[in-house]
Structure 1
């Protein structure tokens, strides 16, 4: 696509093909007349994949999707303002609860009654809200590299910084977008897999408008699910803790697990494990999904 894209990103040149064999896309008509672009694979135990900040579902779950599609079935969509997700108007702010309702509307349109919710980083708050607002659609919960609240010392400083930068991100192309690119550029220097994926990865990261990138961070800083944790009591839950995570402190990930009485699966990895060590990530995620489904871990 060239010219102005629907999420506000101007791009040029040919699209870069995904380096994975991913489930097909499906255009899903929603009750409000909008069309959601969804990756969908039917299955007996479908998993709803909710991606992280400034990413697309393909980036966050590209290595995972084939395995989940074959073993369970899946639904994956980009969140509003991200990638191929539903658009955000120039005056709209990114809203976590709205994304949860978007996912519920997609499931209803597909005729899917219940799912295992798998939320990574930003996908954690969206998944928590989804479970609170649409509990009858939840079979189990898997949270990865995420927290119930984002209020570390770094986050307190970041809240002030991002509020100040928002007016510039609204109009500037570089402000905002440079952060995720810089993060993965560092990973590229250390990881052969990220280096292999770089042309595609850079194109995918460029799909998110700088204003949305900033607004998502501000929405996360304003999010605190701890007062609502008891509303999810009784739901089978597993938490995959990334023990070397510099973005979401492991202690906050463990707090989420404690408040949800969740089973913890820990991997010795950083926040970008889904790209830098995809084998470890896929194994841990499959084990977490099997746990909430009551299946023996390590199944084929």
Structure 2
């Protein structure tokens, strides 16, 4: 691992306390354009690039699995633009899935990492697909979890109208960004004692996404459709973890992703928040999927 990298010392960025979990070290990394980002990095021959879900941070999404992956393979994880400690979205601009894919490639450049196994959860799926399309030579394997190739279910069509209507109000309702992710995940405290013990820290992470980003990210997902680009990633080793009780990404859409990619499927009898409610099961499925694609 090379490039302009500084080990983070002192307080974690954004004034958030250290995670109660053992996680890879924070590093401050200078990108080629002079921009500085922060990322959790653990060295490995072909590390796992972790791409998190909508309105949360990499730490929230991968807090239970990140250190096991770091110990076994090495990891790279940073928050996407507009999320947590991620790069800012320029004034007047909107969240862009392809830009997030290029941000990840720029981080790998700065770290001197040639190839990774991509692991994308929910929103991380579209970002991972774009990363593979735009930077195919850097992909050793693809793991997609609780995600889809397009988002056009009946519920998504209703959501598209709803969030378009919310967008003009987003900048005037800070409560949306402070309450929506917390409300969605609040019940996880009842499902797993370790997650419950970490709730004060998790809650502090869940309020970091600004309202406009919350709205713009979901609209970007609704507009996303990777089906015309399938040939660009054909032949890459791929696994899909399907959450069969998912109320956020319909399982049938997850199955379509797996079928169109010819992916090995790992089914979890779980909802969209399995990474917090049943971390042992989620971790086992993630490692199994990664091992599958590493074998090619």
- Shared fold per TM-score greater than 0.5: yes
* 1:248-259 equivalent positions in 2, closer than 5 A: 248-259=249-260
Q: Give, in whole Å, the separation in 2 of the partners of 1:188 and 1:125.
A: 29
The answer to whether the aligner puts 1:76 opposite 2:77 as a matched pair is: yes
- Structure 1 residue aligned with 2:58: 57
Shift of 1:14: 6.5
Q: Give, in whole Å, the separation in 1 of the partners of 2:191 and 2:279.
A: 14
Q: Give, in whole Å, the separation in 1 of the partners of 2:79 and 2:98.
A: 15
- Structure 1 residue aligned with 2:9: none
Shift of 1:188: 2.9
Q: Give, in whole Å, the separation in 2 of the partners of 1:244 and 1:63.
A: 21
The answer to whether the aligner puts 1:45 opposite 2:50 as a matched pair is: no
Shift of 1:190: 4.2
In angstroms, what is the RMSD of aligned CA positions? 1.4
- Structure 2 residue aligned with 1:260: 261
- Structure 2 residue aligned with 1:67: 68
Does the Cα contact within 8 Å between 2:117 and 2:139 map onto a contact in 1? yes
- Structure 2 residue aligned with 1:219: 220
- Structure 1 residue aligned with 2:115: 114
Go from structure 1 to structure 2 and tell me whether the alpha carbon gap of 1:176 and 1:154 turns closer, same or farther (over 3 Å shift): farther
Shift of 1:279: 0.2
- Structure 2 residue aligned with 1:6: none
Shift of 1:32: 1.8
* 1:122-133 equivalent positions in 2, closer than 5 A: 122-133=123-134
- Structure 2 residue aligned with 1:161: 162
* 1:165-180 equivalent positions in 2, closer than 5 A: 165-180=166-181
Q: Give, in whole Å, the separation in 2 of the partners of 1:79 and 1:102.
A: 8
Shift of 1:187: 3.0
Shift of 1:182: 1.1
- Structure 1 residue aligned with 2:7: none
Does the Cα contact within 8 Å between 1:176 and 1:214 map onto a contact in 2? no
Q: Give, in whole Å, the separation in 2 of the partners of 1:137 and 1:14.
A: 33
Structure 1, 193-202 or 164-173: larger mean CA deviation: 193-202
Shift of 1:189: 4.0
Q: Give, in whole Å, the separation in 1 of the partners of 2:66 and 2:188.
A: 21
Match of 1:28, SS state, is strand
Q: Give, in whole Å, the separation in 2 of the partners of 1:280 and 1:16.
A: 27
Q: Give, in whole Å, the separation in 1 of the partners of 2:177 and 2:86.
A: 18
Shift of 1:191: 4.1
**Unaligned residue ranges in structure 1 (runs of 5+):** 1-12, 296-300
Shift of 1:178: 2.3
Structure 1, 165-174 or 150-159: larger mean CA deviation: 165-174
**Unaligned residue ranges in structure 2 (runs of 5+):** 1-13
Shift of 1:94: 0.5
Does the Cα contact within 8 Å between 1:83 and 1:204 map onto a contact in 2? yes
Q: Give, in whole Å, the separation in 2 of the partners of 1:52 and 1:114.
A: 22
* TM-score of the aligned structures, taking structure 2 as reference length: 0.92
Q: Give, in whole Å, the separation in 2 of the partners of 1:172 and 1:91.
A: 18
- Structure 1 residue aligned with 2:104: 103
Q: Give, in whole Å, the separation in 1 of the partners of 2:170 and 2:243.
A: 30
Shift of 1:176: 4.1
Shift of 1:44: 1.7
Structure 1, 16-25 or 116-125: larger mean CA deviation: 16-25
Q: Give, in whole Å, the separation in 1 of the partners of 2:75 and 2:188.
A: 28
- Structure 2 residue aligned with 1:36: 37
